[in-house]
Amino acid sequence: MQIYLDNAATTPLAPEARAAMLPYLEDIYGNPSSTHATGRKARSGIEQARKQIAALLGVKATEIIFTSGGTEAINLFLQGMAHQVPVIISSPLEHPAVLKTLQYLEQTTGTSVRWLPHNALGQPDLTRLEEWLADQPGTLVALMHANNETGNLLPIEEVGAICQQHNALFFTDAVQTAGHYVLSPQKWHLAGLAASAHKLHGPKGAGFLYLRQDIKLQPLLHGGSQERSLRPGTENPAAIAGMATALQTCHDNMQTDKAHISRLKAHLLNELQKVIPGIKTNGTSSLPEASACHILSVSLPPHPANDMLLFKLDMAGIAVSAGSACASGAQEPSHVMAALKVPEDQAVIRFSFSRYNSLEEIDTVVSKLAALYQ
């Protein structure tokens, strides 16, 4: 039996999303920019998906820009804004899509980036943020809604209020929270937000950028006039329809799914603490109100089983990540775990859950890990 607990890396495609995609893979194959009937049908599907996503976020349809995923949406916003703001404030714990983009801008354009300090749990210093913004209004703040490795949740309403008070622009990477939480760009005073379809049971290769209507970006690509000329190139109607349906399905079942996933997370942590003495959580992962409901990051004590642990679990039919999926195959340690000073002799596992997981699967995982650490 394969047990998949790596849903923060990617999720299985929801049946509803698959059904929404099929017409565009079979009959509605026209180019959405074509003016004939076949093209107009494809265009209609894209615009319906745009309206559907906008309604779920409580924004205007014209504020939704379709991209190939979260990384492109992040790059489009950050690179598109870099020449318009005096300073960008971010965190050294951001996803590489933000971190490396800002480092690139520092090196190639001279963009001034200030890295916000954090406490031992990885929570950003909001007092310092207020001080910096008071000194330099008009700054761009880029802080992720939930950390992809620890699950740390940003107090996003508080950050939004701070940014509004100091006339700062606020951008958030919501890749890990879209589909699990209601996204409220207006309430949070956001200038931009990035999301990705494959993290919420939609298809890979699709994402979107919420872009507040008064924000003007320089495009990354040049060509056609698609997506308000911000993302030229023929759109993918099937992926876009699948993404909109997947997000709608998440919203329709959000409370039930969140309660189920939260039970799985709490049960796994409780049972692991019983069978593996010395196990610890990373960041705010053990705090329900301060971490994403679907991510549990733990550090296992020094033990011979730590060697090739993910391989051993994989052979046992259990799919998990060491920290994040982006770092799990790399030779270098996770920048997040290094910043949190997790000892190198501890093994870090990120478990991440979905509506399709069960308590029986969790008990099996506990049993397999307990056997390894006996």
238 & 301 share domain: no
Query: Alpha-carbon torsion 85, 89, 94, 99, what sign?
Result: positive
Q: What is the pLDDT of residues 149-207, one digit of tens each?
A: 999 999 999 999 999 999 999 999 999 999 999 999 999 999 999 999 999 999 999 99
The catalytic position among 163, 250, 293, 326 is 326
23 & 155 share domain: yes
155 & 291 share domain: no
127: CATH? 3.40.640.10
Show the domain range for 303: 3-11+254-372
82 & 113 share domain: yes
Residue 330 predicted with pLDDT over 80: no
pLDDT band (50, 70, 90) for residue 327: very low
Q: State mean pLDDT over 125-147.
A: 96
161 & 274 share domain: no
pLDDT for residue 323: 66
367 & 239 share domain: no
pLDDT for residue 86: 87
Distance CA 188, CA 224 (A): 32
For 65, which DSSP code?
E
Boundary residue ending a domain (221, 252, 283) = 252
If you average pLDDT over every residue of the chain, what do you get?
Answer: 95
Distance CA 206, CA 371 (A): 40
Please count the structural domains in the chain. Answer: 2
**5 near 298, Cβ under 8 Å?**
no
245 & 342 share domain: no
pLDDT for residue 326: 44
How many CB atoms are closer than 10 A to CB 255? 9
Q: State mean pLDDT over 235-246.
A: 98
Count Cβ neighbours within 10 Å for each residue of 223-246 and write b for 16 or more, e otherwise: eeebbeebbeeebbbbbbbbbbbb
361: CATH? 3.90.1150.10
Q: What is the pLDDT of residues 278-306, one digit of tens each?
A: 999 999 999 999 999 999 999 999 999 89
Boundary residue ending a domain (252, 282, 305) = 252
In degrees rounded to 5, what are phi and psi of residue 207? -165, 180
302 & 367 share domain: yes
**117 near 106, Cβ under 8 Å?**
no
Boundary residue ending a domain (210, 232, 252) = 252
State the amino acid at position 131 in one-letter form. Answer: E
121 & 155 share domain: yes
245 & 301 share domain: no
Reference 79, options 108, 56, 41, 122; nearest CA is 108
Six-digit token string for 240: 């876009």
**307 near 322, Cβ under 8 Å?**
no
Six-digit token string for 245: 């349906």
Full DSSP string of 103-162: HHHHHHH--EEEEPPB-TTS-B-HHHHHHHHHHSTT-EEE--SB-TTT-BBP-HHHHHHH
Residue 273: Cβ-neighbour burial (10 angstroms; 0-12, 13-18, 19+) = middle
Tell me the three state secondary structure of residue 334: coil
Distance CA 126, CA 147 (A): 16
**352 near 146, Cβ under 8 Å?**
no
With pLDDT > 70 as the criterion, what percentage of the chain qualifies?
97
Residue 328 predicted with pLDDT over 50: no
pLDDT for residue 374: 81
175 & 279 share domain: no
Residue 44 predicted with pLDDT over 90: yes
pLDDT for residue 322: 87
| 326 part of the active site | yes
For 32, which DSSP code?
T
141 & 49 share domain: yes
Helices (H), the chain: 15-26, 37-57, 70-81, 96-109, 126-135, 156-165, 237-252, 254-275, 309-315, 325-328, 335-339, 359-372
